[in-house]
Structures are given as structure tokens and as C-alpha cells.
Amino acid sequence: MAFGAPSSISLKGRALRWLAQREHSRAELARKLARYAAQGADQGIENGAGAGADGNPGTGDDGAAADRIAALLDELAALGLLSDERAAASVLAAQAPRGGERRLKQALQQRGLDADLVERTLAQARPGEFERARALWQRRFGALPADAAERARQMRFLAGRGFAGDIIRRVVRGAEEE
């Protein structure tokens, strides 16, 4: 597997490079690889990345490229290098401290994860959502709102981070009651 010029990298090399940087979901990696599989068919990229059904570069069609990508993703999953569950856990660990359930849901859906996995991941984050919102509010503001305009600004900040309205009200009211 050559890591020289970008045009000489095989699909597997690209996939391994991306997986070494961070966890990817199957759908996300397939979407990224599809662009290069199509380029490989047009440009004849080496290492079989652009080979068509007859083995000649440049003769592959979209179906053959999709089949090559699916086979590669199956191989990576079988080796334990690709996992949607790990990708979801990675998103949760990276973004939960800075965001609420709505923002997490959006990030998980953008990765192409199935609805059941998204819901299971969000269920893990729900119990600590108030504490996360409170910690984020404390880091950002740390002081009671002086007036209604400041209270609205603090509430908009938390809403922009994806927290639910009831959580936001509890955080800001809780700060005022202390």
C-alpha cells in the first residue's frame, strides 16, 4: 500500500488512513470512498481501485464501484476496524460535554447511523443532560443574569447547543434560586 501521491492511494489505503484519524460509520466511509472509486474509474487509479469487472482500469461502472466499496467495508468490519457502535460512542464522548440531545442527534444522523443506534446512544446521554447543561452554563457565564435580556441571552446560548427548553429553564432558574 503506497502512501505517496494522493492519486496512487488505493481505496483500502484511504479507508485505513481515515479510520486511523477517527472512528467513522459505515455509511460515512462509504460516502467518502464513493468519490474516489468514481475518480478511479475515470483516471485508472492503481491497486485495483479503478478496475472494472474485467480488471482493466477505467471500465468500471457505478455498480461495480459500489460493490468494491461494500466488499471493502465488509472486510474492514470483519477485521474489527469499522464499527457503527464505536462511531456512535465516539460522537457521544466528543460532543456530549458541549451539547444537548438535539445536537447529539443531529451529529449522529449526519454520520449515517441507523435510527435504532441513534436512539440507544441518546438514551445513554439523557440521564446526565441537566448536569452537562449546568456545567456548560457555569463555564460560559458563571453569574446570575442581571436582567431579562441577559437571561434570554443565556437561554439562547443553551438552546443553540441543543438543550431542551425544560432543561434550559431548570438551569437558569436553578442559578437564580441559589
pLDDT in tens, 131-154: 999 999 999 998 889 999 999 999
Task: Indicate whether 116 and 137 sit together in one domain.
Answer: no
- Average confidence (pLDDT) over 73-88: 96
Whether the pLDDT of residue 41 is over 80: the answer is: no
Of residues 87 and 58, more confidently modeled: 87
Let me know if residue 123 belongs to a domain: yes
How far, in Å, CA of 61 to CA of 53, rounded?
8
Q: Which residue segment(s) compose the domain that 67 sits in?
A: 6-78
Where residue 119 falls among pLDDT bands split at 50, 70, 90?
A: very high
pLDDT digits (tens, 9 = 90+) for 163-177: 999 999 999 988 656
The H-or-E segment that residue 83 falls in is none
Let me know if residue 142 belongs to a domain: yes
Let me know if residue 1 belongs to a domain: no
The residue with cell 458541549 is 98
Task: Indicate whether 13 and 66 sit together in one domain.
Answer: yes
Task: Indicate whether 46 and 66 sit together in one domain.
Answer: yes
Let me know if residue 57 belongs to a domain: yes
Number of domains in the chain: 3
pTM of the model: 0.76
The residue with cell 489505503 is 13
> 57 forms bridges with which residues in the sheet?
51
